Amino acid sequence: MKKIAIIGAGISGLCIANLFKDHKDYQVTIYEKRNSIEMEEGYGIQLSVNSVKLLNKMGFTSFDEKEKFNPKKIDFYEIRNSKKICDLDISKFNSEDCKYTTLKRSKLIQFLKNKLDENIIKYNHSIEQIDYDKDSIKLIFNKNKITCDYLIISDGVFSKGKSLIASNKSKPIYNDTIAIRGSISRENLQNINEENISLFLGADFHCVVYPINNNKNCNFIGILKHKLSSNEQENHNLFTESSFVKNIKLKLSQKVSQSFLQSLQNIQLFPIFVSKNLYNPPKNIFLLGDAFFAFSPSFAQGASQSIEGANELYECLINNNNFYDIRLKRVKMINSRSNFNQFAFHLSNPIMTTFRNIFLKLLTNNKKFLQSYLGKIYKS
Ligand SMILES: Cc1cc2nc3c(=O)[nH]c(=O)nc-3n(C[C@H](O)[C@H](O)[C@H](O)COP(=O)(O)OP(=O)(O)OC[C@H]3O[C@@H](n4cnc5c(N)ncnc54)[C@H](O)[C@@H]3O)c2cc1C
């Protein structure tokens, strides 16, 4: 039996463990640095049909209907005048049991965790050292040492596992944007269709509001352009410092209405770091999820790609195919779309935004374009 060690119990690590857990030829163990799985309540996640299809294989069809939502459209608005630009029917990519889904991130994590035996996850295991040669892989954690046949590194965008094998050559870079996360009650949302995803476009800022279940609360995520000095980027406490939070809220108040800002709850700020380059690890070591490549969030594909990547890696290991090359193609395609979305969503020049809006109206009704821009991603 081959031993697989997985570093990190996020969406990607939990997914790959779920895929291998019943395979008689493999034994999986997840090593997680925290003392429990991160279950921060409240914040939402979008799953496009490509990942829902794969989750269904893990039993997602029986996921509680009350705890998820299936938006039909993305409604595009201009922030400055709240005027609707156009809408995009994402339900066109749905099938009977496979629909674009929004839900709380914690509910997805809980679903993936509950499908695993308790003893698969070893908590309080932070990776310290990785030694490998062509025959074996040795891992050193703060407490103990283990050996394995395959190592899957899925410890997120700031992957320590990756920096250990890549000698810090593949660090993520700050994307000059801050994510503002929060929740908002449906009753505070006026003039929008609360059954859909609402995407507001503004100068150097865009935000998205969507329901995460059948209850009252909606998820809010804003992406604000904001430069940080290198000292600020290194400062892990910056995003909870009251003067910094106040400054960002002030910037936000210039983008959204006062009443909207006041109805936002549980606001939290996160710097957005993205991958700059790719790293092909040595034999029998694999990077997964954000550790493989972290995208800008403007295409909402991070979690879906973590799920898709896990499935690809499973298939590749079983069939002895080259995972890196297969994943690379997908990553390049999604990364270019994510970067283009961010550029188009944040335009500030009035002439450019007028053209953008005209194109948006045309393209959201153009079947060929939608098939090529979204269909290629959603129907993998
Ligand atoms: C603002 C924002 C909004 C987003 N919105 C969406 C969205 O709507 N839809 C979507 O699909 N995606 C979204 N994403 C992206 C998505 O959240 C990530 O791509 C996804 O969670 C990556 O999962 P992961 O398992 O690779 O990493 P993570 O979720 O980061 O998990 C990594 C795990 O590894 C553990 N770990 C870390 N270091 C170590 C170590 N040294 N040793 C052992 N364990 C370790 C951590 O504790 C954690 O449990 C968003 C991202 C951002 C920043």
Q: What is the DSSP string of 178-216?
A: EEEEEEEEGGG--SS-TTSEEEEEETTEEEEEEE-SSSS
Which one of 18, 19, 31, 32 would you pick to mutate in the ligand 1 pocket, going by the greatest count of ligand atoms within 8 A of its CB? 32
Instruction: Pinpoint the alpha helices (H) of 254-373.
Output: 258-263, 302-319, 323-345, 350-363, 367-370
Q: What is the pTM of this model?
A: 0.94
Q: Tell me, what's the pLDDT at 35? A: 94
In a 3-state reduction of DSSP, which class is residue 236? Answer: coil
**Residue ranges per domain, the chain?**
2-172+275-378
Q: Give the ligand 1 atom nearest the CA of 289.
A: 26
- Class level of CATH domain 2-172+275-378: alpha beta
Q: Cα of 273 to ligand 1 centre, how many Å?
A: 11
Nearest residue (by CA) to ligand 1, atom 3, is: 297
Beta carbons within 8 Å of 350's beta carbon, 6+ residues apart: none
Nearest residue (by CA) to ligand 1, atom 29, is: 10
Q: Cα of 358 to ligand 1 centre, how many Å?
A: 35
Which one of 110, 273, 306, 345 would you pick to mutate in the ligand 1 pocket, going by the greatest count of ligand atoms within 8 A of its CB? 306
Question: What is the pLDDT tens value at each position of the chain, 380 positions in all?
Answer: 999 999 999 999 999 999 999 999 999 999 999 999 877 766 899 999 999 999 999 999 999 999 999 999 999 999 988 899 999 999 999 999 999 999 999 999 999 999 999 999 999 999 999 999 988 899 999 878 999 999 999 999 999 999 999 987 789 999 999 999 999 988 888 889 989 999 999 999 999 999 998 887 899 999 999 999 999 999 989 999 999 999 999 999 999 988 888 899 999 999 999 999 999 999 999 999 999 999 999 999 999 999 999 999 999 999 999 999 999 999 999 999 999 999 999 999 999 999 999 999 999 999 999 999 999 999 76
